[in-house]
Chains A and B, each alone.
Chain A
Amino acid sequence: MKRTVPLLITAVVGFTLIGAYFVPYTQSWGETVAIWFDVLAAIAFILGGGNLLRSHLKRISDQQSGWAYSIIVLVSFLGTLFVGLGKIGAAPSPQFPDYGWSGNYRQTGSAFWYSYQYAFQPLTATIFALLAFYIASAAFRAFRAKNLEASLLLATAFIVLLGRTFAGVALTAWIDPANWQGFRYFTGLRLENLTVYIMAVFNTAGNRAIMIGIALGIVATSLKILIGVDRSYLGKD
């Protein structure tokens, strides 16, 4: 029963929504169910938030290594929750000036807005900025001319990287029919044009092949889940 009911729900709802896509009366059901999921996920956040509080409080009480960071996590979490729910610093809405909580918690100048603009955004941007350095280190390791395929990869990466910079454009700017009429047959060899050709033809072809495989994988996996062949997502037997 514990497994049969979820399997039945999965099958009935899944096949109903697939059928709903083809019936004009029911084509909006998919969007409606997606909204239901968002509501469920928002309520389920209570589980996650509770787990977060429990695990960090345990670290503090056990004085595990790094417990000071858990204090920072809890203070940030509870502080943001407080200023958001309490709409601290948010002016009342002009439509309801007599009600203090009628304003938007994300209003410019509110405490939540300040914490988002001046704490959260810089921290997010900092982590995102690390990506540039990680790309450089990954490229340094990956682009080695060890064999034919790796050499081709290196040459292609070289062309595409250069072709997207001003230096690359300047390097082959001399291939111009204005300099010599014969160059009109070779403008495709300019780095920026080679880059466009590589991305539009080779990269797109490979991308589409992968996406076709992914789409077929999604169809097969979804069908296995709907008909109950794959039940591992349910957990216990």
Chain B
Amino acid sequence: MPPMGWFDLNRIWFFGLLVMLCGAVLAYILAARRGMQIKVRRIAGLEAVDDAVGRATEMGRSCLYIPGVQDMNDIQTIASLTVLSRVAKTAAEYDARVEVPTTRSLVMTAARETVQAAYLAAGRPEAFSPDQVYYVTDEQFGYVAYVQGLMVRERPAACFYMGSFFAESLILAEMGNGVGAIQIAGTAQPAQLPFFVAACDYTLIGEEFFAASAYLSGEPDQLGSLKGQDAGKLIVAAGILTGVAAETLASLTGSPAIRSFVNFLINRVLT
């Protein structure tokens, strides 16, 4: 059996792309630390967080925060907790109650720490109760049934759906709409985005959801990472344009050289 090398050469192009993308993000984080001014476009869903919590306070009703149905090993759940930190801090400042039912024990533990830290940061540690963040069930539709009942009984004024969702997304969103809550959703599941867009007041689509932590914190480091993401998009766009142009030329001209370049892109770079 031939000896294994120290580097899988089949993945060299993927490694190069990863270095480019991570390098772009790091470069802009460093530039932001050195004082580069970074402007971020307005994201309506995140601007509405304060209004939603304020609405709940005025109506004397609670805020419901659903951090998705996956565990802490899903990046969407971690992104959700960063948004929860902000929502909980706002709720603490406005003296509104935020309730966080979870489907995973580890998420319950992490969310409890996050909410407690948020209340402490807002100067309201005495207002925090561990019962605000609790475990319901791991089972998808059992969880949905519980949250539906909670919405009908408690009639929260603001509902936040941030994280990874599957079939339960529309059930939750429609029920929230039925009880008259203002709803802000964010997910990176492409199949669930249309349901949230149709049923919620504001939806954070894909990368807006991941940008939430940077947007809400306003820290230069975090905003720099958003700029790095945009640089990554430029790199990807350049790659797409190159590939599309090459394939079009290869089809129109039948040139063997261009065709072999296209095959190289498909079989080596994109695998």
Binding site for B on A (CB under 8 A): 18, 21-25, 27, 34, 37, 40-41, 44-49, 51-52, 55, 65-66, 123-124, 127-128, 130-131, 134-135, 137-139, 141-142, 207, 210-214, 216-225, 227, 229-230, 232-237
- Interface residue? B188 (CB, 8 A): yes
9 new A-B contacts at CB < 8 Å, known A49-B135, A233-B114: A25-B4, A40-B106, A52-B137, A134-B170, A138-B174, A214-B206, A216-B229, A220-B225, A232-B81
From B81, B145, B198, B207, give the contact of A141 (CB < 8 A): B198
Instruction: Verify B232–A233 contact, CB threshold 8 A.
Output: no
From B22, B29, B195, B233, give the contact of A229 (CB < 8 A): B29
Chain A residues with Cβ under 8 A from B214's Cβ? 224
Instruction: Verify B170–A135 contact, CB threshold 8 A.
Output: yes
Instruction: Verify B108–A51 contact, CB threshold 8 A.
Output: yes
Instruction: Verify B171–A47 contact, CB threshold 8 A.
Output: no
Instruction: Verify B110–A22 contact, CB threshold 8 A.
Output: no
Instruction: Verify A138–B198 contact, CB threshold 8 A.
Output: yes
Instruction: Verify B82–A233 contact, CB threshold 8 A.
Output: yes
Chain B residues with Cβ under 8 A from A124's Cβ? 139, 141-142
18 contacts between A and B (CB under 8 A): A24-B6, A41-B105, A44-B106, A48-B108, A52-B135, A66-B153, A214-B207, A216-B232, A220-B210, A220-B226, A221-B213, A224-B29, A224-B214, A224-B225, A229-B221, A232-B213, A233-B114, A235-B114
The smallest beta-carbon distance between B42 and chain A, in angstroms, is 17
Of all A-B residue pairs in the complex, the 10 with the closest CB atoms, nearest first, are A235-B113, A217-B210, A48-B105, A48-B135, A217-B207, A213-B207, A142-B198, A127-B141, A134-B174, A24-B4
Instruction: Verify A229–B225 contact, CB threshold 8 A.
Output: yes
The smallest beta-carbon distance between B182 and chain A, in angstroms, is 15
Instruction: Verify A47–B135 contact, CB threshold 8 A.
Output: yes
Taken together as a complex, chains A and B put the C-alpha atoms of A230 and B5 apart, in Å, by 35
From A34, A55, A137, A216, give the contact of B174 (CB < 8 A): A137
Taken together as a complex, chains A and B put the C-alpha atoms of A134 and B175 apart, in Å, by 9
B48-56, B70-78, B247-255, B260-268 - interface stretch: B70-78
From B22, B81, B139, B153, give the contact of A223 (CB < 8 A): B22
- Interface residue? B222 (CB, 8 A): yes
- Interface residue? B246 (CB, 8 A): no
The smallest beta-carbon distance between B243 and chain A, in angstroms, is 13
- Interface residue? B193 (CB, 8 A): yes
Instruction: Verify B233–A213 contact, CB threshold 8 A.
Output: yes
From A18, A138, A217, give the contact of B170 (CB < 8 A): A138
Instruction: Verify A134–B171 contact, CB threshold 8 A.
Output: yes
B7-15, B57-65, B90-98 - interface stretch: B7-15
Taken together as a complex, chains A and B put the C-alpha atoms of A41 and B144 apart, in Å, by 21
Instruction: Verify B7–A23 contact, CB threshold 8 A.
Output: yes
Question: Given A47-B105, A47-B135, A223-B22, are A235 and B225 also a contact pair (CB < 8 Å)?
Answer: no
Taken together as a complex, chains A and B put the C-alpha atoms of A62 and B236 apart, in Å, by 58
Instruction: Verify B7–A22 contact, CB threshold 8 A.
Output: yes
Residues of B1-46 at the interface with A, using a CB-CB cut-off of 8 Å, are 4-8, 11, 15, 18, 21-22, 25-26, 29
Taken together as a complex, chains A and B put the C-alpha atoms of A207 and B194 apart, in Å, by 11
Residues of B143-174 at the interface with A, using a CB-CB cut-off of 8 Å, are 144-145, 153, 167, 170-171, 173-174
Taken together as a complex, chains A and B put the C-alpha atoms of A213 and B136 apart, in Å, by 32
Instruction: Verify A223–B174 contact, CB threshold 8 A.
Output: no
Taken together as a complex, chains A and B put the C-alpha atoms of A47 and B113 apart, in Å, by 14
Chain A residues with Cβ under 8 A from B171's Cβ? 127, 130-131, 134
Chain A residues with Cβ under 8 A from B142's Cβ? 123-124
Instruction: Verify B22–A47 contact, CB threshold 8 A.
Output: no
Chain B residues with Cβ under 8 A from A220's Cβ? 25, 210, 225-226, 228-229, 232
Taken together as a complex, chains A and B put the C-alpha atoms of A213 and B153 apart, in Å, by 38
Taken together as a complex, chains A and B put the C-alpha atoms of A211 and B18 apart, in Å, by 16
- Interface residue? B116 (CB, 8 A): yes
Taken together as a complex, chains A and B put the C-alpha atoms of A160 and B171 apart, in Å, by 22
Q: Using CB atoms, name the residue of chain A closest to B113.
A: A235
Instruction: Verify A217–B206 contact, CB threshold 8 A.
Output: yes
Instruction: Verify B106–A41 contact, CB threshold 8 A.
Output: yes
The smallest beta-carbon distance between A80 and chain B, in angstroms, is 11
Chain B residues with Cβ under 8 A from A18's Cβ? 18
Chain B residues with Cβ under 8 A from A142's Cβ? 198-199
Question: Given A210-B190, A225-B78, are A51 and B4 also a contact pair (CB < 8 Å)?
Answer: no
Interface centre among B110, B113, B213 (most CB of A within 10 A): B213
